[in-house]
């Protein structure tokens, strides 16, 4: 199965999955396969469904403080996007999001 076919298959399966299950599959791609490009749309979908830890994971991909430490789907850090996702994670109840926001600092 090609990567494109795998992604199409995953997107079709995701529509029937709970947010927690989508998060778990994304974590597998990100952590076990070092494939943040495949993890990103899954975490975005899970966050859209109210999964706080998924929003935090997307924020970490953008976070300049974690740049080079966390596999990311992006070519450059973006503190504004990190802040946006951390706010979303905090709004969804993630206990670590407020600290991430403090560490990131205020917008320039």
pLDDT digit string (tens) for 17-46?
Answer: 899 999 999 999 999 889 999 999 999 999
Q: How far apart are CA 25 and CA 14, in angstroms?
A: 10
What was the pLDDT predicted at 3? Answer: 65
Provide mean pLDDT across the span 42-62: 96
Q: Are 26 and 45 in contact (CB under 8 A)?
A: no
pLDDT band at 107 (very low <50, low <70, confident <90, very high): low
pLDDT digits (tens, 9 = 90+) for 75-104: 999 999 999 999 999 999 999 999 999 998
pLDDT at site 70: 86
């Amino acid at each position: 199965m090609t990567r494109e076919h795998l992604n199409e298959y995953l997107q079709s399966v995701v529509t029937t999955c709970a947010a927690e299950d989508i998060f778990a599959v994304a974590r597998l791609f990100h952590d076990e396969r070092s494939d943040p490009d495949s993890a990103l749309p899954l975490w975005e979908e899970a966050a859209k469904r109210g999964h706080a830890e998924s929003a935090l994971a997307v924020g970490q991909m953008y976070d300049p403080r974690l740049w080079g430490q966390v596999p990311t789907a992006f070519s450059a850090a973006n503190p504004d996007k990190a802040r946006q996702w951390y706010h979303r994670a905090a709004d969804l109840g993630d206990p670590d999001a407020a600290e991430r926001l403090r560490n990131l600092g205020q917008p320039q």
